[in-house]
Structure 1
Amino acid sequence: MNTERIDQDKIPKKTLSSGEKIPSIGLGTFGSDKYGAAEVAKAVYGAVKFGYRLIDCAQVYQNEAQIGEVLEQLMREKVVKREELFIISKVWNDMHDKVHIACRQSLKDLRLDYLDLYLVHWPFRNYHAPGCDVNYRNPDAKPFSVDEYMETWRQCEELVEKGLVRYIGMSNMTIPKLEAVLPLCRIKPAVLEMELHPSFQQPELFDYAVSHNMLPIGYCPLGSPSRPERDRTKDDVVDMELPAVVNAARAHGVHPAAICLKWAVQRGQVPIPFSVKEHQYKSNLTCITEDPLTEEEMEAIRLEDRNCRLIKGQVFLWNGAKGWEDLWDVDGKITGWD
């Protein structure tokens, strides 16, 4: 393994609807609650030096200011040029009516003149303070509203028109919600970010995104084995323990995590694994540049889908539901998460 720097020509690329090529893997930055913002920023610095060019950020992660410092340092040291990076940020739920303010704050914190991609983080408005204890009975939470969502989206479109953002996208949407809002968009979403991993493949939503020219970006591409015990349920599956993943790892002589990432990239999505450990983020990038999975291995992993969503509790917080049966959809009907 080249432990100094990966040749950019070796990193597979994905194509946006505009025709622009972007890296097929990025570095996630959600993790300051466990490791601290400075540690996450340090990982960004090392990852970019090694060869990462896509960095997935968000205002709610509470580390954009620290990441901005290292991005500025990397460009000052001529490790990378701004145009070689693809930086993502997201508007948080409490700023849906103040998207311009949120975006400009992210730009200030990240020390950038523009963002490559700006996402509506979640479709529901919510007003809890980032970092506070989760309140699953938040009285300020509201059901999904097409009108409110489109008010938010219009502001995102204005960011593109003002040159503050190059592309805009959606995150954590469902097909009914997408069918309601996509016809109303002047600027179509370039990507759809969603939970994607071998035990939660979301094939219908994945195919829907692709058919509507939205590049799928997958968070939790290795499952979420390090999340707190309070967030786990008896039905959770750790992807790196799935038989097809383990068998492929043995056949290729790599860690099961590498198999999850190879599968994601070959399937057609952009995984954004998070790690502050140097050997891990280097391995995560290196593994997709060599020794691809066979068609048989890809099919075996496809058949491992358990429909096991890991990011569950957040749904209750962001739409005011009292239980799974009380989740609201686009038309006000109680239809469940989908």
Structure 2
Amino acid sequence: MDTATTRTLRTGATIPVIGLGTFGSDRYGPEEVAAAVRGGLEAGYRLVDCAAVYGNEAAVGRAIAASGVPRDDLFVMSKVWNDAHDPDAAVASVRRSLRDLGTDHLDAVFVHWPFPNHHAPHASVEDRDRTARPYDHAAYTALWRALEGLVDEGVVRHLGTSNTTVPKLRLLLRDARVLPSLNEMELHPTFQQPELFGFCVDNDIQPVGYSPLGSPSRPERDRTDDDPVDVEHPTVLRIAEAHGVHPAVVCLQWAVARGQVPIPFSVKPEQYRANLEGALADPLTPDELRAMAAVDRGARLIKGQVFLWPGATSWHDLWDEDGTIPGGLA
């Protein structure tokens, strides 16, 4: 891919400006997700965002192999889930992902969430995990050290954080030997996270945005006229009409123009093809980008289970200097 379709990481390596998400385990089986991955790669995607907890990496790995795209042309990412924060367990998790994805290296490995919280499959997001613990920087550093060893070994090219916050990133940048190259986080027009986004950019951490269309199919979305989902927002609809495109394309054009790497997910060929083509089409105008900035209303979607240990009531940044959280809050 040329520079118009890639971004450069702190190592000098490049990452495509848009990728394929594979989180579909709540609605789709592994083979359906894998079919979308194979079709997406054949359509031109070169970035695949995976995770151990999605339960489909073996199927996705077979799809990558069947696509015929050379491995060196791909950027494949995975994540260590919350039940594998112990250093040995984290290493074992990455090696399992390598085996399942059928690759000798991963271009990036993320710590999926900064808290060692684990919920049983299909548990309600409102359930509190009685074995869960709040963020502890010493424990997180031990986990990160184990992942640094995999970078030294050559089986992981870059490390990334996910679902984290500025205070935690400050501590990691202070203490890490292998600095984070990416931070994956919820990013869409109605939830732009300007402080965290700006911190990442200022510190050479590439923002990767999940739910870039605002996940309009999620049942917890508020679909009232006063609080519309992203693809139904009047500003998005107006820009889409002016460009003659679907509102989802506007969300992705905004994301790419802003500098993040969006990772939309769809199993429908017409949708994942349109996402790729739209994201790489003519950019929005400066006036349109300013209008999109005003769409932000702090509408977080992904919240609940990983923050909810006993006594937790808020996940905002209430840290002591050493990274511990007073009062058990996250």
TM-score under structure 2 length normalisation: 0.92
- Please name the residue that 1:240 is paired with: 231
- Please name the residue that 1:324 is paired with: 314
Instruction: Tell me, yes or no, if structure 1 residue 181 matches structure 2 residue 172.
Output: yes
Determine the C-alpha separation between the residues in 2 that align with 1:197 and 1:189: 22
- Please name the residue that 1:95 is paired with: 84
Contact 1:144/1:328 (8 A) holds in 2: no
Structure 1 residue 336 displacement after superposition: 6.5
Deviations 1:165-218 (A, max 9, x none): 011110111111112222000000000111001000000100100111100000
- Please name the residue that 1:279 is paired with: 270
> How many matched pairs?
324
- Please name the residue that 2:250 is paired with: 259
Amino acid at match of 1:324: S
Determine the C-alpha separation between the residues in 2 that align with 1:9 and 1:142: 44
- Please name the residue that 2:150 is paired with: 159
Determine the C-alpha separation between the residues in 1 that align with 2:195 and 2:316: 23
Contact 1:99/1:152 (8 A) holds in 2: yes
Amino acid at match of 2:81: W
Instruction: Tell me, yes or no, if structure 1 residue 45 matches structure 2 residue 34.
Output: no
- Superposed, which structure 2 residues align to 1:22-101 within 5 Å? 22-74=15-67, 79-97=68-86, 98-101=89-92
Change (3 A) 1:315 1:129: closer
Consecutive unaligned residues in structure 2, runs of 5 or more = none
Identity %: 51
Contact 1:12/1:288 (8 A) holds in 2: no
Contact 2:35/2:63 (8 A) holds in 1: yes
Determine the C-alpha separation between the residues in 2 that align with 1:308 and 1:206: 15
Which region of structure 1 is more displaced relative to structure 2, 214-223 or 307-316? Answer: 307-316
Contact 1:325/1:334 (8 A) holds in 2: no
- Superposed, which structure 2 residues align to 1:286-305 within 5 Å? 286-305=277-296
Structure 1 residue 324 displacement after superposition: 2.6
Deviations 1:214-267 (A, max 9, x none): 0000001000111234x7698964111122211100000000000000000000
Change (3 A) 1:325 1:261: closer
Determine the C-alpha separation between the residues in 2 that align with 1:233 and 1:277: 23
- Superposed, which structure 2 residues align to 1:142-153 within 5 Å? 142-153=133-144
Amino acid at match of 1:65: A
Contact 1:236/1:310 (8 A) holds in 2: no
CA RMSD of aligned residues (A): 2.1
Amino acid at match of 1:123: P
Structure 1 residue 128 displacement after superposition: 2.8
Determine the C-alpha separation between the residues in 1 that align with 2:281 and 2:314: 42
TM-score under structure 1 length normalisation: 0.90
- Please name the residue that 1:5 is paired with: none
What secondary structure, in the 3-state scheme, does the structure 2 residue paired with 1:30 have?
coil
Determine the C-alpha separation between the residues in 2 that align with 1:112 and 1:326: 38
Contact 2:110/2:159 (8 A) holds in 1: yes
Structure 1 residue 293 displacement after superposition: 0.5
Change (3 A) 1:325 1:298: closer
- Please name the residue that 1:123 is paired with: 114
Contact 2:32/2:267 (8 A) holds in 1: yes
Amino acid at match of 2:314: W
